[in-house]
Structure 1
Amino acid sequence: MDLIEKRYSTKKNNLYEMREENEAVQGFVMVYSEIKDTREKLDEVIRNRPKFMCLNDDKNYSHPEAELVTEEVAEFLELFFPFPSQFELKDGETNQFLYLDEMIEFENQTTNQKKNHLIWLFIILIILIFVTPLVVVKIIRKNRNNLPIRVWKV
């Protein structure tokens, strides 16, 4: 019996970990133009580490502290999400398309263009393969009389 308890006692009964009632599952931060309020709200989110967070930007960009608030939010995001997601674009990179349908249409067009280029290349190669020998034979027949005749002495 002791062996069974040792073997299975450390195994979790549930697939998911339950949080205490006082732990935050979600965080909602409304960012306004005042730097002090913004810092307090963002610090609270960092302390609680919610599983879901909503960051709403309602600041007045003409306010004198707006630039400081923007920098504070950027620092918070760097701290809260230190590693970029695999789905994020690299720095300086932008999406070419706004909608998935546009991207699929573009990919189909480029695929069709590649197919057309291959077809034309194949046609040109076939023409060269069949026409080149005909032209060479015609040139040889035309210049046959002008070729010097060599007589070999035995």
Structure 2
Amino acid sequence: MSYTTLDEYQRKWIFTHQSMPVPDEDWPHIKPMTQARAAQFWKENVSAQSPDAERLSSQDWPMKESNWKDEVDWMKAWEADENDLPQEVSDFIDWQDDVTVYFCYEKYNVIETKWSVFKKYWKNFLFYDDGPILLGRRRSEALWFSTDGTVKLGKRK
């Protein structure tokens, strides 16, 4: 099995937080990977050596400045009453709602969902903002969120 249930997920509270709980009917669409599957995905798509964003090496694609075209503020949108992603992110990521995305917190913590689900609950995902990277299946665009309230917009190469 490649996934664990949201009920078993160690950070389940980010999706059940009283200020913005995810309705039960959407839980099946938020699929935390098992540690083994997450580690494999991270190794193949983010870094073969580094366990998290803080320790990426200069050889890892996220560390190459040429892969990033812009950096914008996400914190203002996160704190706003509306649920919309920052406009610059929506403009940059022009994916269909059914595109599979991977929200990569670190080597052993990756969540698979659909772009529509991520857009709807992006604020929940960012309760943990310690360098997560969003990737899309068979897509080159990438987002790299930072604890300083910014997100890098770029391409995975």
Higher RCO, Cα 8 Å, sep 6+: 2
**What TM-score, normalized by structure 2, do the two folds share?**
0.16
Query: Hey, which of these two has a bigger chunk of strand by percent?
Result: 2
Tell which structure's C-alpha radius of gyration is larger: 1
